[in-house]
Amino acid sequence: MALPVVRASVRRDLRDFDAQFDHLVRQVFGPVAASAGTTDRAWRPATAVSETESAYVVELEVPGVKRDELTIEVEDGRLAVTGEVKETENGTRRSTRRTGRFEYRTRLPRGVDADAIGAELADGVLTVTIAKPETATPRRIEITQG
């Protein structure tokens, strides 16, 4: 069975498509997304934000990052998580992993106590738990007969 022959025009079309796609990714997401983190501009890790009865929970995917390589700060009602994914020097020829500085910033809900924020790093996921203020937690109001 003979293998199909790829004509030069098809190869040229694929090369053009690849260049156009790369250009589109750079326009939409910036140079960091297109080059997998090879610039000095910080990128944003994949994040999930959820809410429980007593807290807001922010989960950030930071595989390979150690606890001492992360910084979590609260200032002026904003939460900032910063860190860096270092490049490995194991002879990798090609990688789609993001490397370099990353940051996640978000405004905190009003009334949140900065001292009531905790963080845990497990299995490459940083979980930041932000306790809700007492006034934000739901409570049931009993109706009395008058």
Judgement on whether residues 128 and 64 belong to the same structural domain of the protein: yes
Residue 1 lies in a domain: no
pLDDT band per the 50, 70, 90 thresholds, residue 7 = low
Q: Which tokens hold the place of 99? A: 């490397």
**DSSP output for the chain:** -PPPPPPHHHHHHHHHHHHHHHHHHHHHH-HHHHTTS-SSS-B---EEEEE-SSEEEEEEE-TT--GGGEEEEEETTEEEEEEEEPPP-S--S------EEEEEEEEPPTT--GGGEEEEEETTEEEEEEEPPGGGS--PPPPPP-
Judgement on whether residues 125 and 73 belong to the same structural domain of the protein: yes
Judgement on whether residues 78 and 106 belong to the same structural domain of the protein: yes
> How many domains does the chain contain in total?
2
Judgement on whether residues 79 and 67 belong to the same structural domain of the protein: yes
pLDDT band per the 50, 70, 90 thresholds, residue 124 = very high
Judgement on whether residues 64 and 107 belong to the same structural domain of the protein: yes
**Residues 32-90: tens digit of each pLDDT:** 444 444 446 789 999 999 999 889 999 999 998 999 999 999 998 899 999 998 877 77
Contact between residue 72 and residue 58 where contact means Cβ atoms under 8 Å apart: no
**Where in the sequence is the domain holding 72, given as residue range(s)?**
42-88+98-136
pTM over 0.75: no
Residue 144 lies in a domain: no
Judgement on whether residues 111 and 72 belong to the same structural domain of the protein: yes
Q: Which tokens hold the place of 97? A: 């992993």
* pLDDT of 103 strictly over 80: yes
Judgement on whether residues 60 and 73 belong to the same structural domain of the protein: yes
**Residues 15-35: tens digit of each pLDDT:** 677 767 776 776 666 554 444
| 3-state SS class at 39 | coil
Judgement on whether residues 82 and 113 belong to the same structural domain of the protein: yes
Q: Which tokens hold the place of 103? A: 């940051």
Task: Kindly give the pairing relationship between strand 117-122 and strand 100-107.
Answer: unpaired
